[in-house]
């Protein structure tokens, strides 16, 4: 029998980034991830325009939390012009948003990685988000609960 009294420590340099990510997880259509320095009504509007640009046809139903910029008159007016309809989930109800399991898996992929710089981090997040967002499995429970007449493709 043997023992070792030392603790192994691994240092992981953190990368500070000057932006926040906004993701659009599409059950049909194209998934979108964009980055904004601040999450204010003007940048939410920019994100809506990017979502519409990537999804030029059809209705867009956007499940969102109750972040103030989502409710802003500017945001709602532009969403109406773009044909994007918001569905707001109740406060403290992340399980009602199909994108939350995707963010959880994305964070799990980020955790063991070491990034050279913020550009490398952004490239990794973009690639991982777009790859993961092609899986409808994140939305299975959500679809079964809220869209029971829809058959989910595996």
For 85-110, what is each residue's pLDDT tens digit? 999 988 888 888 889 899 999 999 98
- The C-alpha atoms of residue 78 and residue 81 are separated, in whole angstroms, by 5
Classify residue 57 by burial, with Cβ atoms within 10 Å: 0-12, 13-18, 19+.
exposed
Alpha helices in 36-117 (DSSP H): 41-54, 68-71, 73-82, 100-110
Q: Is the pLDDT of residue 2 over 60?
A: no
Give the CATH fold of the 20-142 domain: Nucleotidyltransferase; domain 5 (3.30.420)
> Greater confidence, 150 or 138?
138
> Greater confidence, 144 or 83?
83
Q: Is the pLDDT of residue 154 over 50?
A: no
- The average pLDDT across 64-68 equals 90
Predicted confidence (pLDDT) per residue in 6-61, tens digit: 676 667 667 778 889 999 999 888 999 999 999 999 999 999 999 999 999 998 99
């Amino acid at each position: 029998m043997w023992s070792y009294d030392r603790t192994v420590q691994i240092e992981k340099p953190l990368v500070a980034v000057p932006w926040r990510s906004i993701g659009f997880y599409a059950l049909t259509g194209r998934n979108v991830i964009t980055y904004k320095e601040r999450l204010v009504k003007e940048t939410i509007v920019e994100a809506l325009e990017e979502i519409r640009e990537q999804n030029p046809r059809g209705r867009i139903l956007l499940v969102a939390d109750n972040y103030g910029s989502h409710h802003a008159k500017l945001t709602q007016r532009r969403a109406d012009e773009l044909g994007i309809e918001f569905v707001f989930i109740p406060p403290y109800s992340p399980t009602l948003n199909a994108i939350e399991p995707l963010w959880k898996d994305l964070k799990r992929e980020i955790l063991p990685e070491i990034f050279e710089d913020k550009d490398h981090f952004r490239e990794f997040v973009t690639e991982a988000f777009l790859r993961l967002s092609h899986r409808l499995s994140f939305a299975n429970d959500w679809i079964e609960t809220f869209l029971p007449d829809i058959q989910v493709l595996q």
